[in-house]
Structure 1
Amino acid sequence: MSTFTVELPPSARLVDGPAGPVIEVHHPAATGEVHLHGAHVTSWAPEPHGEVLWLSPESAYGPGEAIRGGIPICFPWFGPGPDDWQPMHGFARRVPWTLVGVREQAAGVTVRLRLTDTDLPDDLPGREHLTGGFTADLAVTFGAELDVTLETTNSGTDDLRISAALHTYFAVSDVRQVSLDGLAGAGYLDKAGGGDHRQDGPVTFTAETDRVYRSTADVTLVDGPRRVVISKSGSPHTVVWNPWVAKSARLPDFPDAGWPQMACVEAAIVPGDEVTLGPGASHVLGQHIRVS
């Protein structure tokens, strides 16, 4: 595999992780890491701000598992899929990707990974739901700002229909004390409490939160003096999630007392608004994060 033949710059190294190979980045602008399993970013610490992402200390690792925290890649569907497809959030975060290249620049380090339909075993759970060909290219730039882009290309002869998300977990001091600016006035589906609503003012967390906002606006996570600005592209929805007390206790890979330390703000394309790609067509889903 190209995993071990790609030339690495001095600021990156390949190490063995709990789910296989991991690219570690140590650059003057930031440190970070991305697992080849799931093309999963699990750390980004820009100087001088420290770690921005949350990772569960009880996450499962290994073949067929999905890492809990960081930035899971939900693909080729989000949630249970259009017809209650399993596994939840698709199979891309559960399989190894191929390392395509690592490039060092003055502003940071870019890691590129790829997954194609030909990489998938026939018996992979969920494989039966995607009969066409695809190429998924993930590019992650670790620097003073974090750029993550997922480009999907239809390499088959029939239309390819996808939903997806960059399911980003942010580390916070106490989710009960943070707020999200930028979603005021946006309509949302409340998957935890039920019903369709319109956001009035900043988003705050007072209970289990699972909302799908129809919005393309930037979102600012306000956590005391820290401001994390989250921009996106190719995404009509912003998902906001925190499991709170009861759901945390039900999740086997989530610490019971871990919910106050995280908040998810996700660039998403949800079922019902899937992207349809004709043969040869591509779509780019992106997220850009900076600490102000």
Structure 2
Amino acid sequence: MEARTHRTGTGTVRAHDQGAQLTEWRVGGVPVIWVSALARYAEGQPIRGGVPVCWPWFGPGRSGDLSPAHGFARTAPWRLVDEVVDDAGVRLAWELSSADTAGRSGTERFPHTFRARVEVRVTDRATVSLTVRNEDSAAFDYEAALHTYLHVGDIRRVRLTGLDGAHYFDKVLRAGATQHGDLVCTGETDRVHTSDGPVAVHDPVLGRTLTVEKASSPHTVVWNPWAEKAAAMEDFGDREWTEMVCVEAAAVGDGAVRLEPGAEHTLSTTVRVGPLHGS
């Protein structure tokens, strides 16, 4: 599996052509993007961590029966079309088309002509964007998420701000609710928040705040498997759940993208590292 590793003025960046996936970003030697020590780097296997590109559906899709989970884009071999490393940082870009994915598992559930592009830009911040262009003769719908795994010191001491007042669907409890105040994870967390604003992850253990900004993202997904579910995953260390939280830019469910012929849509997320504040 082809990997690309580069140094920046503040740390290191690593990405894989499979899935056009950012798999490492360190600042001052400390990971910002989390990847499991048990992640499998094998052709056709999803990489546990980094920023997986979930497309053209999220989870099992709106119908609840689509596979592979999170779509076929995250395990497809994308074509690298740009790789620039200079004083400004690192810029990588990949493309994927319907011709590239013909015959892959899951594509029969998305029989449309498309061209997709993922760009990763890392300077003093990391931005990942997914652009999809409809090259078909009819409109189509899709879901998308940038499944960003963030490295934290201890999830049990982390606070997330920016979601106060947002309605969410709790996929663990299978119920809707409204967020009141800061979000503190106390158990398995899998929530789709109707929120397009930034989210700040306040981490007193590592003494920093990670700010996640989004564009064209009506939803924010927050996920941590907690102890029992993590232990059941072959590519997830039993204690690694304490070190991560996913804060994802998403357009899913009722917020899925409707794309007319010739139109394109860009979903993006930016992660910034700052000093601890508001704790």
TM-score by length of 2: 0.94
Could you say which residue in structure 1 is the equivalent of 2:131? 151
Tell me if the contact between 1:188 and 1:198 (Cα under 8 Å) persists in the aligned partners. Answer: yes
Matching residue within 76, 80, 94 for 1:99 = 80
Question: 1:118-172 deviations in whole A, cap 9, x for unaligned?
Answer: 00141x2111011111111011011111111110001111112110100001111
**Aligned pair in 2 of structure 1 residues 49, 63: CA closer, same or farther (>3 Å)?**
closer
Could you say which residue in structure 1 is the equivalent of 2:94? 113
Give the 5 Å matches for 1:76-95.
Answer: 76-83=56-63, 84-95=65-76
Could you say which residue in structure 1 is the equivalent of 2:244? 262
Matching residue within 14, 19, 26 for 1:33 = 14
Question: 1:176-195 deviations in whole A, cap 9, x for unaligned?
Answer: 00010110111111111231
State the Cα distance separating 1:21 from its structure 2 match: 1.1
Tell me if the contact between 1:29 and 1:108 (Cα under 8 Å) persists in the aligned partners. Answer: no
Could you say which residue in structure 2 is the equivalent of 1:283? 265
Tell me if the contact between 1:154 and 1:281 (Cα under 8 Å) persists in the aligned partners. Answer: yes
Q: Does 1:126 align with 2:133?
A: no
Question: 1:203-243 deviations in whole A, cap 9, x for unaligned?
Answer: 00100000010001110000012000110001100000000
Could you say which residue in structure 1 is the equivalent of 2:147? 167
Distance 1:110 1:87 in 2: 29
- Count of matched residue positions in the alignment of Structure 1 and Structure 2: 271
Distance 2:41 2:26 in 1: 22
Distance 1:234 1:108 in 2: 24
Question: 1:84-129 deviations in whole A, cap 9, x for unaligned?
Answer: 211110011111100001123432111011111100141x211101
> Partner letter of residue 40 of structure 1?
Q
> Partner letter of residue 247 of structure 1?
K
> Partner letter of residue 23 of structure 2?
T
Question: 1:40-86 deviations in whole A, cap 9, x for unaligned?
Answer: 1110113x362101101112222221100010000011110122211
Counterpart secondary structure, 2:87: coil
User: Structure 1 vs Structure 2: percent identity of aligned residues?
Assistant: 41
Distance 1:59 1:51 in 2: 15
Q: Does 1:65 align with 2:49?
A: no
Distance 2:263 2:116 in 1: 12
Distance 1:101 1:43 in 2: 18
Could you say which residue in structure 1 is the equivalent of 2:277? none
Q: Does 1:253 align with 2:227?
A: no
Could you say which residue in structure 2 is the equivalent of 1:8? none
**Alignment RMSD, CA only?**
1.2
Counterpart secondary structure, 2:230: helix
Distance 1:101 1:259 in 2: 34
Tell me if the contact between 1:30 and 1:142 (Cα under 8 Å) persists in the aligned partners. Answer: no
Give the 5 Å matches for 1:217-236.
Answer: 217-224=197-204, 225-236=207-218
Distance 2:75 2:201 in 1: 28
Mark the runs of 5 or more structure 2 residues left unpaired by the alignment: 275-279
Distance 2:218 2:168 in 1: 12
